[in-house]
Every structure is written in structure tokens, then in C-alpha cells.
């Protein structure tokens, strides 16, 4: 009997130019929101562990939106790693990293984007065999100028910059050789989510998906 488990994700950075960073406040929003993002061309969806319903939201999306590649964001502990993977997360994202968190994530069987904001953190991760990272908080930590400067001495590192990025600034990041995709939430305006205007979310997602 063949397994129905989803296929592993080879590289989160190559799924789409933008990974939506989602904060789910109402569990009922999770599935229609994810469907709108996928329909717009953004299959990788980072659900942050910032609300009480986040794990249930991941579980619902994993079960009901088969074309979505749902991940967990704001992963900051080994418990978060275990709970997220158990809920169906297919990738993990953190704002930063520690040895303990990295060890747990590397043992989880799913891709992990550890957060970095300095060259020393990048070098430390390269020593551990990690080449794909989240650059956070992108705008506050130096933006495109900083990432471009990292490219020459550390060309093996690829990034998903997240934090303060907008539809207007995303193309500048995406033009960098060491940027695989960007993370952002501009395609999920609060008023659209509150009104459950999923058609608007889909339209904004389609615009984001066309950035590269």
C-alpha cells in the first residue's frame, strides 16, 4: 500500500518568489485564506506560531489544501519543532537560531530556514551544513545593501529576506543572486482578512507571484 504522505520539499526558496507570512487569528480563516494564496500562485505558506490556533491552522491547511506547502514560522524551541511537524508543517522558519534549535530542526526531517542578521551567524550555519537561511529583520538589519555585501565572501549562502518588505521593495531583493525568495504579508491586508475578502487576497497573491 502506497503512502499518502506529502512529498518532501527540496527547497522552500524555489517554490515561489514570495512566501506569505500568515498570522491566523481565527481558525475558520485558515483554509479559505490558504486556498486564495495557492490559487494566486503562492503555494508555500508560513503560518506563524503567534496565536493559540496556529497549530490547528497548520493542521487544517495540511489536511484540506493539498496544493499548499504549509510551514510553521516563529519556531523558537525544540517543542515548537516537534509540534509543528506533528501538525503537518512541511518546512520550519525561525527569527533566529541556537545550537539546540538547529539540532532539533535538522532532526525533524523537514527543511529549516534559521534566521540570521550577521555575517558571523551565516558562517556558523555554513559550518553546520546549512546553506539556506532567513535574513531577518531584513529592512532593519541592512536590507539589500547588506545582502549584496554578503554575496561576495559567502556565495554559498542563499536567503529568504523577511521583515518590512513590501510589494514595492520586493523586486529589488529578488534581483540579488543570493536571494531565492522573500517573505511578506502585504498580500494579506488586515481589512481584507477581516472582511473575508478572499478574492482580493487571491488577486494580491497573483501580483506577488508575478514578481519574478
Residue in 131, 181, 174 with CA at minimum distance from that of residue 13: 181
Q: Which of 136, 166, 170 lies closest to 17, judged by CA?
A: 170
Question: What grid cell was written down for 161?
Answer: 529576506
In the numeric block, the cell 554575496 is attached to 151
Residue 113 CB contacts under 8 Å (≥ 6 apart), including other chains: 12, 13, 91, 92, 93, 94, 132, 133, 134, 160
| Annotated catalytic residue 139 | no
Active-site annotation holds for 177: no
Task: Exactly one of 121, 134, 148, 177 is catalytic; name it.
Answer: 134
> Nine-digit cell at 55?
497549530
Q: Is it true that the peptide bond before 137 is cis, omega within 30 degrees of 0?
A: yes
**Strand ranges (DSSP E) for 8-68?**
18-22, 44-48
Strands across the sheet containing 69-73: 112-113, 92-93, 69-73, 44-48, 18-22, 182-184
Active site residues: 46, 134
Amino acid at each position: 500500500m502506497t503512502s499518502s504522505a506529502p512529498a518532501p520539499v527540496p527547497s522552500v526558496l524555489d517554490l515561489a518568489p514570495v512566501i506569505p507570512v500568515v498570522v491566523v487569528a481565527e481558525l475558520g480563516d485558515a483554509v479559505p485564506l490558504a486556498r486564495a494564496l495557492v490559487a494566486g500562485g503562492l503555494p508555500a505558506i508560513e503560518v506563524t506560531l503567534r496565536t493559540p490556533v496556529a497549530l490547528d491552522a497548520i493542521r487544517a491547511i495540511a489536511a484540506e489544501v493539498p496544493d499548499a506547502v504549509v510551514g510553521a514560522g516563529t519556531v523558537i524551541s525544540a517543542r515548537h519543532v516537534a509540534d509543528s511537524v506533528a501538525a503537518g508543517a512541511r518546512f520550519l522558519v525561525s527569527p533566529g537560531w541556537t545550537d539546540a534549535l538547529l539540532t532539533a530542526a535538522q532532526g525533524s526531517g523537514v527543511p529549516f530556514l534559521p534566521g540570521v542578521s550577521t555575517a558571523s551567524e551565516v558562517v556558523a550555519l555554513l559550518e553546520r551544513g546549512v546553506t539556506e537561511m532567513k535574513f531577518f529583520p531584513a529592512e532593519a538589519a541592512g536590507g539589500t545593501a547588506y545582502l549584496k555585501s554578503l554575496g561576495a565572501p559567502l556565495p554559498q549562502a542563499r536567503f529568504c529576506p523577511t521583515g518590512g518588505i513590501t510589494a514595492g521593495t520586493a523586486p529589488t531583493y529578488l534581483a540579488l543572486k543570493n536571494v531565492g525568495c522573500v517573505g511578506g504579508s502585504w498580500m494579506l491586508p488586515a481589512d481584507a482578512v477581516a472582511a473575508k475578502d478572499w478574492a482580493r487576497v487571491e488577486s494580491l497573491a497573483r501580483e506577488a507571484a508575478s514578481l519574478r
